[in-house]
Chains A and B, each alone.
Chain A
Amino acid sequence: MWWQWAHWLPLAVLVPLGFGVTTPAVAGGDGGRAWRWAVLGSALAAATTLALVVRVAREGPFSYAFGGWNPPYGIEFRFDEVGAFAFVVASLGMLAIVFSGRYAEHALDPARIPYFYTLLLLDIAGLIGFSVTGDLFNMYVFMEIISLSSYALVAVSGERTAEMAAFKYLVLGAVSSLLVLFGIGMVYGTTGTLNLADAARRLGGVGSAVPVAVAIALMAAGFMVKSALFPLHVWLPDAHAIAPSPVSAVLSGLVVKVGLLGTFRLYQVVYRTGIVDLAALDQLFLWLGAISIVMGAFFAIFQDDIKMMLAYSTISNIGYIVMGFGLASKFALIGAAVHIFNHAIIKSALFLAAGAIIHQTGYRRLSELRGAGRGMPLTAAALSVGAVSIVGIPPTAGFLCKWYIALGAFEAGRAAFGFALVFGALFIFVYYIRMVNAFYFQEPVHADVVHAGDPPLSMLVPVWVLAGLCLAMGLAGKIPLTFITPAISRLLAPIGG
């Protein structure tokens, strides 16, 4: 079958990488041509990753050994259900790039546009690579590709605040990468291998648990900075709010997930070895997750800037996922893993819709955007769908996570955290209702907002595809849930099972 071709796996990374590097040369200074090239590249990447998803759904996880060198000696790419994040990355990345076409014309210096697409494609390549790699050090390398392109993307508008935000992001990002690298080094020092599966095998036999525990702590800390868990979130709001909207969608929907995916990979290595007791880490995740949910929502309430609000809501949602990790029961982990995907979709929908509104009206504060629902009904409706979804009103995508983590909380006997999650979500609703009120039910302040009109199709279509997905992923929740379940079952299977 077509999806069984072995080389899809490396191609998934190479395609966006290749298209990204060649964009400036192909474009020759023409922004439109760069856009078309980038759309093509990301579409091909999406097709490639789709082949991988089909294969993993039919056959279960599979590997690719580079140059015929089998693991643990060679470099391995390994694709499992969680790695299907690569498909989410490629398709959302494609939508963000499609959206950028008209957006970049306005927001960026024309000479920079080809490089903007290069950076976006590199980011996508890094994210795909990070999801499919089976090797600790390659994880670090892909993480750095993601981080470097993200730092640059935040600064791409060339405004002073953007550069400051990018620098803040860079410093914290670099520190966290080094923490992770330190941890990787320690794992290598104790086990003598960098291959994830091999490390998991060998960890069971190491003499002392102390270096392993330290390595886990370092890596977990690094990943939590990357995913902006409270109180390590300080870099996120500025960076995500100031970046151009399609970039915010990629950063908030996809790039913060690097930390969570990394944590998941870390779990896959250490969970079943029994060498260290992860109870303390679980406890920490639980509490930090709960605090993140509340604090993210709390800060968001005071924001008037619509993108700032969305950025803080990302912190809350990361809290859900981390709390799901901390509960460590089957339902909770499934809910958390699925929310990694769903939050990517929802938050991209929100950021792209907000970007379209900002692009059409030129305002970005809620108090100035009153009446936007009348001016641009389709975009505002998409934004409302996203808002309903992120709050977790059934039957949208956001609800699945709430339902599963609540189930997981009872399963783990930690009912209180289920309560925290469900009522924390209500808190989030407080600020989304402000947005809906401003768009639909309050007197307009600026007349041009009411007459703005919906954006061109190249922006509207991606927004509505995502908004439609917010609904579809909820209604057809069975599909992602059953898809991800084998990965969680393997993670939780008893040793030797």
Chain B
Amino acid sequence: MIGALWSNFDYAVSVVLFLIGLYCVIAKNNLIKKFMGLNIMETSVFAFIVAIGVVDRGSAPIMGPGARGPFVNPIPQALILTGIVVAVSTTALALSLIVRVWHQCGTIEADELRELE
């Protein structure tokens, strides 16, 4: 058990990070903190996918003079670049929503907002 966990250490870390993020989303009262939790979750998934492509002692898969294998798998990295773009857009949209909520309600604490409704 421990051995399996140790050999998949990177995966285990990303699962733990994911759960920490989920906890923040559920438990935190401040909208920005909620959203930071979401960012933690995003990071954990990205880390997980990048970790899939890791090859021991592999180098960056950039071709050119002097490039020597083994290379790490480039596909997950390309995917995560796209993923990061998506994550940034989500963050921007969420933050702009939070700003507007703050302007209109004067608070971004979830419980106070619920009372306003």
Question: Within 8 Å by CB, do A and B touch in the complex?
Answer: yes
Question: A: which residues have CB within 8 A of B?
Answer: 137, 140-141, 144, 148, 151-152, 155, 158, 160-161, 163-164, 166-167, 170-171, 174-175, 178, 181-182, 185, 188-189, 194
* A167-B31, A170-B94 known; A160+B105 contact, CB < 8 A: yes
**A173 closest partner in B (C-beta):** B90
The list of the 4 closest CB pairs from A to B, nearest first, reads A185-B49, A189-B52, A144-B86, A160-B104
CB of B38 closer than 8 Å to a CB of A? yes
Q: Are the C-beta atoms of A181 and B45 separated by less than 8 Å? A: yes
CA distance A214 to B99 in the complex (A): 37
Q: Are the C-beta atoms of B76 and A188 separated by less than 8 Å? A: yes
Q: Are the C-beta atoms of B45 and A182 separated by less than 8 Å? A: yes
CA distance A155 to B105 in the complex (A): 15
Q: Are the C-beta atoms of B93 and A170 separated by less than 8 Å? A: yes
**Residues of chain A lying within 8 A (CB to CB) of residue B48:** 182, 185
Which one of A161, A171, A178 contacts B45 once the chains associate, using CB atoms below 8 Å? A178
23 contacts between A and B (CB under 8 A): A137-B79, A141-B86, A160-B101, A160-B104, A161-B117, A163-B97, A163-B100, A164-B101, A164-B113, A166-B97, A167-B98, A167-B101, A170-B90, A170-B93, A170-B94, A170-B97, A171-B25, A175-B25, A175-B41, A178-B45, A181-B83, A185-B76, A189-B52
**B38 closest partner in A (C-beta):** A174
Give the interface SS of chain B, mostly helix, strand, loop or mixed: helix
* 19 additional contacts (CB under 8 A) given A171-B34, A175-B41, A194-B79: A137-B79, A141-B82, A144-B89, A148-B90, A148-B93, A151-B97, A152-B93, A160-B101, A160-B105, A160-B116, A170-B90, A171-B94, A175-B22, A178-B18, A181-B49, A182-B48, A185-B49, A188-B75, A189-B52
Q: Are the C-beta atoms of B86 and A178 separated by less than 8 Å? A: no
Q: Mark B55-96, 1 if CB is under 8 A from A, else 0.
A: 000000000000000000001100100110010011001100
* A137-B79, A148-B93, A167-B94 known; A175+B105 contact, CB < 8 A: no
Question: B: which residues have CB within 8 A of A?
Answer: 18, 22, 25, 31, 34-35, 38, 41-42, 45, 48-49, 52, 75-76, 79, 82-83, 86, 89-90, 93-94, 97-98, 100-101, 104-105, 113, 116-117
**Residues of chain A lying within 8 A (CB to CB) of residue B97:** 151, 155, 163, 166-167, 170
CB of A467 to closest CB in B, whole Å: 34
CB of A210 to closest CB in B, whole Å: 11
**Residues of chain B lying within 8 A (CB to CB) of residue A188:** 49, 52, 75-76
CB of A108 to closest CB in B, whole Å: 15
CB of A7 to closest CB in B, whole Å: 23
**A158 closest partner in B (C-beta):** B100
**A170 closest partner in B (C-beta):** B94
CB of A125 to closest CB in B, whole Å: 15
CA distance A181 to B75 in the complex (A): 15
**Residues of chain B lying within 8 A (CB to CB) of residue A185:** 45, 48-49, 52, 76
**Residues of chain A lying within 8 A (CB to CB) of residue B86:** 141, 144, 148
**A136 closest partner in B (C-beta):** B79
**A211 closest partner in B (C-beta):** B11
**Residues of chain A lying within 8 A (CB to CB) of residue B105:** 160
Name the residue among A166, A175, A178 with the largest chain B CB count within 10 angstroms: A178
**B82 closest partner in A (C-beta):** A141
**Residues of chain A lying within 8 A (CB to CB) of residue B116:** 160
* A160-B104, A185-B52 known; A148+B45 contact, CB < 8 A: no
**B116 closest partner in A (C-beta):** A160
Q: Are the C-beta atoms of B76 and A163 separated by less than 8 Å? A: no
